[in-house]
């Protein structure tokens, strides 16, 4: 490593030229780099949470859960749909 430092100090024009070339190559690489505004991200799971106050479980299933399941059933990547109903009552 000491050897590289000695060469850089002895030949300043070569060192400056090397730094300029490295900077130009770096800027060119950054400009030509592939970038996506909206990259494709895959999520293996989808969770849908709905709130329907003052309703019974049958109404929630009939009015919310079944229409959502019917609308997402046409998604070709959908492998399985699981329904879970949780009723919380405030104390």
Task: Enumerate the domain spans of the chain.
Answer: 2-30, 47-91
* CA triple 36-41-42, angle to 5 deg: 155
The model's confidence at residue 89, banded by pLDDT at 50, 70 and 90, is low
Of 86, 85, 78, 83, give the one whose Cα is nearest residue 45.
78
* DSSP-assigned states of every residue in 32-89: HS---SS-----S--------TT--HHHHIIIIIHHHHHHHTT-TT------------
Q: Give residue 28's pLDDT.
A: 94
Per-residue pLDDT band for 91 (boundaries 50, 70, 90) equals low
**How much is the pTM?**
0.42
- For residues 70 and 28, the model is more confident at 28
Contact in structure between 83 and 65 (CB atoms under 8 Å): yes
């Amino acid at each position: 490593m000491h050897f590289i430092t000695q060469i850089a100090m002895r030949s300043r024009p070569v060192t400056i030229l090397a730094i300029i070339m490295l900077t130009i190559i770096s800027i060119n690489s950054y400009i030509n780099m592939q970038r996506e505004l909206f990259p494709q991200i895959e999520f293996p799971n989808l969770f849908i949470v709905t709130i329907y106050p003052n309703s019974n479980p049958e109404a929630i299933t009939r009015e919310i859960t079944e229409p959502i399941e019917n609308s997402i059933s046409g998604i070709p990547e959908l492998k399985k749909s699981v329904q879970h109903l949780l009723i919380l009552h405030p104390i």
